[in-house]
Amino acid sequence: MMLTSQIVQMTVAFILAGLVATGLIKVWMVVTLSFISGCGQAFGGPAYQSLIPTLVGKEHLPNAVALNSIQFNLARVFGPLLAGATLAAFGSAACFGLNGLSFFVVILALLSMNIKHVKPADPKPMMQELKGGLRYAKGEPTIVALTILAALTTFLGLPLLTFLPVFARDIFQGDVNRFSQMMAYSGAGAVCGALVVAWLGRFTHMGRALLITQVAFGALITAFAMSRILWLSNVLLFFSGAALLMTFSMTSSLVQLIVPDHLRGRVMSIYMVAFRGGMPLGSLAAGYAASVTSAPLVLEVNGVLIMCVAVYFLIKSHGVREL
């Protein structure tokens, strides 16, 4: 499933490169190819998350989840720099071409892994298996709470990254280099946050630490939205990137630790729908709200709402605080 997902995304990248290079690209083509790529990610994401516990023991699972997230955030640091240089030197078609070539590395890595697949002892029809996963997730208040936390964090928190070009251009009167610099600060903070979680591993009161970190994340977003000093905004981006990654890593680790092995794929699929679905929906809602008001005001409100959500779970718990 993961190999198929990577091949689909690689094909989309190469098609985009060809369409841009020939000048035949249209908006509907970009939308269609984005949809196809999203379908590939929808299958690959849960498979990716479900694979991690087969590679490491449960005692090392939080370390593995945190270290695994570093690769994504290192890409956020170096990706804009590499893309900017490639765009300036060779054009946008080359950027899509390089993106397509990068999938070969992932495909070769997957082919080099030697994993023993254990078939279920009592396989059931797909719809019955799906209903079983939904029934389990619905019946576990802690899973429901963690899924809601993940969805709201991405819905309210990820517009911070979506609005970075607006802040770079309108607030700090910069260009693409200013935007790349701000993304690099956020990405570097995320890498440091992942290293902190990897160093801590599985520890007592992990759920409480997650909620406190989320409160800090909301406060950092609000402070960034109010800042008009470039160096201070970069510092706030660094720490908000760290808090965001720590929140994501601890939430994913706790879900992985709770779910039994035979339900892991299905429950992680539900979790990933909430986690990934919050990103585009949050950006869409925040973009509309910013068109009516302003990007800084939207981020201020989002930061306060994130703090309110975390404080609610600190008070009411729903099983998260005791993890």
pLDDT tens per residue across span 278-314: 888 888 888 889 888 888 899 999 999 999 988 888 8
Phi and psi at 254, nearest 5°, equal: -65, -40
pLDDT of residue 15: 93
Is the distance from CB of 158 to CB of 303 less than 8 angstroms?
no
The pTM for the full model equals 0.76
**Average model confidence (pLDDT) across the chain:** 82
Closest to 48 measured CA to CA, from 18, 73, 71: 71
Rounded CA-CA distance 160/244 in Å is 11
b/e map of 151-182 (b: 16 or more CB within 10 Å)?
A: bbbbbbbbbbbbbbbbbbeebbebeeebbbbb
Mean local confidence (pLDDT), 151-158: 88
Q: Are 249 and 199 in contact (CB under 8 A)?
A: no
CA–CA separation, 115 and 97 (whole Å): 31
Task: Give 322's pLDDT tier (boundaries 50, 70, 90).
Answer: confident
CA distance 153 to 46: 19
Indicate whether 11 pLDDT > 90. yes
pLDDT (tens digit, 9 = 90+) per residue, 217-249?
A: 999 999 999 988 889 999 999 999 889 888 888
Residue 78: which residues within 8 A CB-CB, separation 6 or more?
none
**H-type helices in the chain, by residue range?**
2-22, 27-55, 61-90, 92-112, 126-139, 141-157, 159-162, 164-166, 176-200, 206-226, 230-258, 264-292, 295-316
Please report the domains of the chain, with CATH numbers, ordered by start residue: 2-316 (1.20.1250.20)
Predicted local distance difference test score (pLDDT) of residue 44: 82
